[in-house]
Amino acid sequence: MARTHLIAGNWKMHLSPAEGRELVTSIASGLGGTTAEILVCPTALGIADAIAAAAGSKVQVGAQNCHWEVKGAFTGELSAELIQSAGCSHVLLGHSERRQFFHETDETVSQRLKAVLRAGLVPVLCIGETLSERESGQLETVLRQQITGALAGIDAAQLTQLVVAYEPVWAIGTGVVASTEQAQEAHAFVRSVLAGVLGDLANDLRILYGGSVKPGNAAELLAQPDIDGALVGGASLKAEDFLGIIAAA
């Protein structure tokens, strides 16, 4: 079965609600007849405006993280159920910045993943190695641990909508991009690990590449057999750049 490209924008801590609404409006009006799926992930404050601007278009809206509990005394957190009730379709999980700055672990990522599935949302599981891990030959060990740790205790039947985003940490926001060969090699390995955990389902799951994706390099990356889309950071904040990546898909 052919896998439909997914082009996702992670806005991180950028754009006011009004700026996000304007950006989504511009993206939606410029999509043309693209066959790719489109996703934007605003800040929590920008979700409502992004959803309003996306109404009637192909643009879907996701959150950047969620808590694993349904409700409770967790100041500053959002449950998957609250995110779902706001109209989101997806949730990013385990982004390297969450792991680095907020001490996410494979265990907490797994808890969040279970919460996303509980709420009927689509999880976008982020994985990736640091430069030192790659240079010391730990690439496969790190990726395998992040995948198996996140999926531990979850039945394959629950993961039919899972999206995995491979982001080499050393290429996020640095302007450095893994070579096409490096990206494809890592994606093929990720799919092999998924196959070991989930069996034939791995052939249907989408694996996105993230790490300084731009209009100029998107087409070559997206042409690779195991790269099924992109998780875009900085280039998702400008309609022209994001639409250029979409066009490459």
Tally the domains of the chain: 1
- Domain of 186, CATH number, reads 3.20.20.70
Residues that are catalytic: 95, 167
Closest CA to 211 of 197, 231, 227: 231
Q: Is the dihedral of CA 229, 232, 235, 237 positive or negative?
A: positive
pLDDT at residue number 249:
93
pLDDT block averages, 10 residues each, the chain of length 249: 92 98 98 96 98 98 98 98 98 96 97 98 97 92 98 97 94 78 96 98 97 93 97 97 97
Residue 162 CA: distances (Å) to CA of 25, 165, 178, 248: 27, 10, 24, 23
Domain hosting 98: range is 6-248
Say if 235 falls within a structural domain. Answer: yes
Q: Is the dihedral of CA 43, 17, 49, 222 positive or negative?
A: negative
Residue 20 CA: distances (Å) to CA of 1, 149, 237: 34, 34, 9
Rounding to the nearest 10 degrees, give the CA dihedral for residues 221, 142, 123, 30: -20
Say if 117 falls within a structural domain. Answer: yes
The 10 Å Cβ neighbour count of residue 226 is: 19
Q: How far apart are the first and last CA of the chain?
A: 17
Say if 175 falls within a structural domain. Answer: yes
Say if 201 falls within a structural domain. Answer: yes
Say if 54 falls within a structural domain. Answer: yes
**Alpha helix stretches (DSSP H) within the chain:** 17-29, 47-54, 80-85, 96-102, 106-118, 131-135, 139-151, 180-198, 215-222, 239-248
Encoded amino acid at 233, one letter: G
pLDDT at residue number 1:
54
Residue 150 CA: distances (Å) to CA of 8, 14, 61, 81: 21, 27, 23, 20
pTM of the model: 0.96
Say if 1 falls within a structural domain. Answer: no
